[in-house]
Amino acid sequence: MPNPIRGLPPSVRRLFRLPPTRDRIIADADEEMRFHIEAWTEELRARGLSPSDAVAAAYARFGDPGEYREHAVRRAAHVTRRQNVGIWMAEWMQDVRFALRHLARAPLFTAVTVLTLALGIGANSAIFSVVHRLLLDPLPYPNGQRIVALKTIGNVSFLAASASISPDAPGDPPSNLLQKWAERSRSFEQVAGVEPVFLSLMPDGRQDTVTHAFATANLLGLLGVRPALGRGFQPDEETPAHRHVAMISTRWWHAAYGGQADVIGKPIEYEGATYTIVGVMPAGFTIPMQTRTLGGLQMPAPDVWLPAPIEETSIGYGLLRRGVTAESATRELTAIANALDEGRDGHRLRAADDSIRARAMRASDFLSAREVRMITILFAAVGVLLLIACANAANLLLLRAWSRRREFAVRLGLGAGRARLVRLALTESVLLALVAGALGVVIARESLRVIIALRPLALDRLADVHIEPAVLLWTGAISVVTGVLFGGAAAVFGASRNVADLLRTESRTASSGGLTRRVRATLIVAEIALSFALLVGAGLLARSFVTLERTRLGFDPHNLVSIDVLAPPPLWMGPQRSAVRDAVTASLAEVPGVTAAAMGTLPTAGYRVRDGLVVETPDGPRQIGVSQAVTTWIDARWFGTSGIALLAGRVPRAGVTDETPLPPGPPRGPRPAFRRLSEEVVVNREFARRLAPNGDAIGYRIRTAPAVAGKGPPSSSAWSTIVGIADDVRLPGMHDDSQRYQVYTLSLTAMPNPTYVVRFTTIPPNVEAVLRRAVQRANPTLVARRLGIADDYVREALAPTRFTLGLLGAFAGVALVLTVVGLYASIAYTVSQRTHEIGIRIALGASSRAVSRLVLADGVRLAVAGLAAGALIAAAATRALSSLLYGVDPTDPATFVAIAFLVAAITLAASWIPARRAVRVDPVDALRAE
């Protein structure tokens, strides 16, 4: 804009002490130089030189006039530049002061707008941080993007795996496979391995409380981290000759050695041997990419690390070469694994018809499709919330701009430039956005705290989620853009009218400018529609949650715990094993507070054995087409302890061929028939129906058969008789077959280490120690580990739905509140604008009902349009939820109608309050007021 100062004559500038312009500075310098030369010329003439000599001498003593002029020009530019900056700063400070004053004058508007934007920004920052932590940058190591875990999919061996882990879950490969991968694979720069030690024993046979793990020397290098102190392992330390070195964790360093630097070189004991400490792991270092599952063995961060070669480890990691994708690495790993098949002699550890599936998994791959879906839905929902928040803010800004149009007109009339007005409005909007941003950060931090508390086990990585700086920048930018866009647009509207027009236009005419009104109406309709969609989503999830919670479990999980008990081989293989088991059960039952104890795993936590099942029908043996069955090893008291009803028949009794202790030495004489199931078994109701649709399955004979004839262990599996039918047990939310078919068998020669279930009246706080002591009272060489709590399993099954519902519900609620506030503000404003008109109507005899109908009509129209659009959006969008819903359709009409009623009621209420106020308008006041 033209600098008004320049136009004034110098005397006026001097009078007002205005700063000189550039030209003036140069002209002054010229004049000074001229005066100087003239004065010296006179002086020299007075001293006796001739006029021409005097002039020449005067010039000579001055120096180079050209150079002096250049100096003057430079100085002028420099000085004026400083002045201009000063002017801009002063103007800008003035803008900010004005903006603050205006915002303070309308505190409700300011507060609501700020809160609206802050909620949008805060929620978005929180969810984006979650997405970032889980999907975009999940590994906290420098090489994080290129690190993959080397896994096999599905069971590689016929050995049992806990049924609570899905059959397609990634598992650790056998050690020799890891070694072959390390040797032959070309996709990786490095392959490292870790072997956690789940059971360290001290020399006296007791369980060690210090946790240990083995790692290859290149583990730290692969991850790209350095030890906190000392050094890592050298490759030659993996060999037996040199491997008596160790590294300790930072936690252990502080706990056991006080964090002193002289810990390097100190000795440390493990299983009777001595190791020398050579380094300390970085703080918080743990086994990377361990997925937490209930029922899996969980290990806290190891305290002591020891070196091991790759062929003695089973958790493998690879550092992808640059440019190599995880998918191509997966293909290579699978090829190597299956090529390994040929030439393996002797008895295979798995059925050869299904080849080994390998997978190079990035950290983000550990999330199941369902979990990724969950996160995506939440991300979309929070984006919708941001849209609504921005729309609301825009609405409010437009309203305010319209209400200030006369003020703008006056300013224009007084000579403020249009640009200046726009700048003023923009400053307001930017200020609002910045304050909203700051508040948004606080909201985001609190939201993350809630998210961390509610998180399901599958999203356990969220434990250390924090706000990413990138997120703040991004959402801050969005809020500034919104503010600028609508604040600026509003200012342009306000400033572009003919001044006279504006001053003339009174409230007499229609309530607001046509364009702004249409824009605002569209915004509100959009808000209603989007809120409706969010609410429908939340409603569907709520119904699913209720369905899940009411699932019949089939057992009683309250105060039921389980514990694994391991015995040393002599005790386990010997003939006294059943005596030991009875002793343990008795000892557990004697613990104060225990009402019952039995051998067996928790219900639904049995083992999945990859064998087919054959049933004897009158027409001959028939393979049952059951996808998989879960086998649980129990004793007679187990059903009672677990609270599972026996619907028919009885508890199985031990048969003579069930447990035949193997005599030492080579087999003499015929081996007893290999049993996979005890002589008498129990199956669940679902299974029984499958076996005998029309009749009673009791009395049927059943046995296992390997999946493919001719492979696997010798199939001289003997027949078992079904003697009882138990109630179905299930965890809420199991979509697949994994829990449907259950076989309960008594203890056998070949069974995994037994687990015991214990029912308490209330679970004591130190339950694991209490149980461990009881086990050791039965026999001091027994080891107890892996406490399981039945209530945790149930809660964890509900957790994903609870998590999604909680967040989506919160977003939907906030969205509705914002929408209603925006609607109320709009209609209230409209009413206040039309006071004059309403006054006339009342004076002319309109009934109060007619007046309120007039006002309500607006709200009703908006609500109807919003609901219609919302129904369409919701119908399309809720399809995305279907994998998370239980017992309810994505387009469930009842939910849609209920939410529609809710939204309609609330929006009508929001319109009704201003309507009531309209009715109470005093016609005399209204007519008088302008």
Partner 1 sequence: MPRDAKDLLHGTLDLLVLRALAAGPMHGFALSKWIDERTRGELGIVDSALYKALNRLEDSGDIHAEWGLSDNNRRAKFYSLTVRGRRQLRNEVASWKHYVAVVTSVLELG
Closest distance to partner 1 from the beta carbon of 54 (Å): 14
Closest distance to partner 1 from the beta carbon of 63 (Å): 4
**Interface stretch with partner 1, choices 23-31, 486-494, 694-702, 888-896 (CB under 8 A):** 23-31
Closest distance to partner 1 from the beta carbon of 75 (Å): 6
Q: Work out which of 6, 12, 15, 43 binds partner 1, going by CB under 8 A.
A: 43
Q: Does 33 bind partner 1 (CB under 8 A)?
A: yes
DSSP code of residue 562: E
Q: Work out which of 6, 36, 671, 773 binds partner 1, going by CB under 8 A.
A: 36
| Per-residue tokens: 530 | 């989007």
Q: Does 510 bind partner 1 (CB under 8 A)?
A: no
Closest distance to partner 1 from the beta carbon of 78 (Å): 8
Closest distance to partner 1 from the beta carbon of 14 (Å): 8
Closest distance to partner 1 from the beta carbon of 43 (Å): 7
Element (H, E) at 683: strand 680-684
**Interface stretch with partner 1, choices 26-34, 301-309, 432-440, 827-835 (CB under 8 A):** 26-34
Bridge partners for 631 per DSSP: 607, 743
Q: Which is nearer to partner 1, 55 or 636 (CB)?
A: 55
Q: What whole-number distance in Å separates Cα of residue 174 and Cα of residue 157?
A: 9
Q: Which is nearer to partner 1, 72 or 378 (CB)?
A: 72
Q: What whole-number distance in Å separates Cα of residue 174 and Cα of residue 187?
A: 20
Q: What whole-number distance in Å separates Cα of residue 685 and Cα of residue 691?
A: 10
DSSP code of residue 48: T
Closest distance to partner 1 from the beta carbon of 258 (Å): 51
Strand, helix or coil for residue 270 = strand
Q: In this structure, are residues 162 and 607 in contact, taking their beta carbons and an 8 Å threshold?
A: yes
Longest dimension (CA), the chain: 149
Q: Which is nearer to partner 1, 76 or 150 (CB)?
A: 76
Q: Which is nearer to partner 1, 10 or 417 (CB)?
A: 10
Bridge partners for 39 per DSSP: none
Of residues 822-851, which lie at the interface with partner 1 (CB under 8 A)?
none
Amino acid sitting at position 913: I
Q: Work out which of 6, 15, 23, 31 binds partner 1, going by CB under 8 A.
A: 31
Q: Which is nearer to partner 1, 79 or 817 (CB)?
A: 79
Q: Which is nearer to partner 1, 71 or 558 (CB)?
A: 71
Strand, helix or coil for residue 429 = helix
Q: Which is nearer to partner 1, 37 or 583 (CB)?
A: 37
- Crossing angle (nearest 10°) for helices 767-778 and 577-589: 140
| Per-residue tokens: 734 | 């199991």
Q: Does 28 bind partner 1 (CB under 8 A)?
A: yes
Closest distance to partner 1 from the beta carbon of 215 (Å): 58
Q: In this structure, are residues 401 and 491 in contact, taking their beta carbons and an 8 Å threshold?
A: yes
DSSP code of residue 367: S
DSSP code of residue 164: T
**Interface stretch with partner 1, choices 39-47, 310-318, 459-467, 548-556 (CB under 8 A):** 39-47
Q: Which is nearer to partner 1, 48 or 670 (CB)?
A: 48
Q: Does 30 bind partner 1 (CB under 8 A)?
A: no
Closest distance to partner 1 from the beta carbon of 51 (Å): 18
Q: Which is nearer to partner 1, 72 or 541 (CB)?
A: 72
* 622 CB neighbour count, 10 Å cutoff: 12
Q: Which is nearer to partner 1, 76 or 112 (CB)?
A: 76
What's the distance, Cα to Cα, between the start and end of the chain in Å? Answer: 36
Q: Does 48 bind partner 1 (CB under 8 A)?
A: no
Strand, helix or coil for residue 2 = coil
Sequence-distant (≥ 6) Cβ neighbours of residue 34 within 8 angstroms:
none
Bridge partners for 725 per DSSP: 648, 683
Q: In this structure, are residues 202 and 208 in contact, taking their beta carbons and an 8 Å threshold?
A: yes
| Per-residue tokens: 552 | 């019949």
Q: What whole-number distance in Å separates Cα of residue 24 and Cα of residue 565?
A: 97
Q: What share of the chain is helix, strand, coil (3-state, %, to 5)?
A: 55, 15, 35
- Crossing angle (nearest 10°) for helices 418-454 and 790-833: 160
Closest distance to partner 1 from the beta carbon of 45 (Å): 14
Which candidate, 626, 604, 603, 630, places its Cα nearest to that of 615? Answer: 626
Amino acid sitting at position 241: A
Give the DSSP letter string of 793-860: HHHHHHHHHHHHHHHHHHHHHHHHHHHHHHHHHHHHHHHHHTHHHHHHHHHTT--HHHHHHHHHHHHH
| Per-residue tokens: 338 | 């299956």
Which candidate, 718, 759, 804, places its Cα nearest to that of 372? Answer: 804
Closest distance to partner 1 from the beta carbon of 48 (Å): 16
Q: Which is nearer to partner 1, 36 or 508 (CB)?
A: 36
Q: How many residues bind partner 1 (CB under 8 A)?
A: 21
Of residues 304-363, which lie at the interface with partner 1 (CB under 8 A)?
none
Of residues 643-702, which lie at the interface with partner 1 (CB under 8 A)?
none
Q: Which is nearer to partner 1, 84 or 766 (CB)?
A: 84
Q: What angle do CA 585, 587, 593 make, to 5 degrees?
A: 100
Closest distance to partner 1 from the beta carbon of 65 (Å): 7
**Interface stretch with partner 1, choices 25-33, 335-343, 400-408, 892-900 (CB under 8 A):** 25-33
| Per-residue tokens: 273 | 């041997």
Q: Which is nearer to partner 1, 62 or 98 (CB)?
A: 62
Closest distance to partner 1 from the beta carbon of 16 (Å): 15
Q: Work out which of 23, 32, 271, 889 binds partner 1, going by CB under 8 A.
A: 32
Q: Which is nearer to partner 1, 70 or 271 (CB)?
A: 70
**Interface stretch with partner 1, choices 58-66, 264-272, 598-606, 783-791 (CB under 8 A):** 58-66
**Interface stretch with partner 1, choices 34-42, 179-187, 284-292, 658-666 (CB under 8 A):** 34-42
Closest distance to partner 1 from the beta carbon of 394 (Å): 49
Q: Which is nearer to partner 1, 75 or 689 (CB)?
A: 75
**Interface stretch with partner 1, choices 24-32, 127-135, 259-267, 319-327 (CB under 8 A):** 24-32
Sequence-distant (≥ 6) Cβ neighbours of residue 866 within 8 angstroms:
524, 525, 526, 527, 528, 529, 532, 903, 907
Q: What whole-number distance in Å separates Cα of residue 134 and Cα of residue 138?
A: 5
Q: Which is nearer to partner 1, 44 or 605 (CB)?
A: 44
Closest distance to partner 1 from the beta carbon of 8 (Å): 16
Closest distance to partner 1 from the beta carbon of 64 (Å): 7
Q: Which is nearer to partner 1, 68 or 474 (CB)?
A: 68
Q: Which is nearer to partner 1, 78 or 853 (CB)?
A: 78
Closest distance to partner 1 from the beta carbon of 21 (Å): 15
Q: In this structure, are residues 181 and 331 in contact, taking their beta carbons and an 8 Å threshold?
A: no
| Per-residue tokens: 862 | 């908006």
**Interface stretch with partner 1, choices 32-40, 197-205, 223-231, 527-535 (CB under 8 A):** 32-40
Phi, then psi, of 361 in degrees rounded to 5: -105, 125
Of residues 59-88, which lie at the interface with partner 1 (CB under 8 A)?
61-65, 67-68, 71, 75, 79
List contacts with partner 1 (CB under 8 A).
14, 28-29, 31-33, 35-36, 39-40, 43, 61-65, 67-68, 71, 75, 79
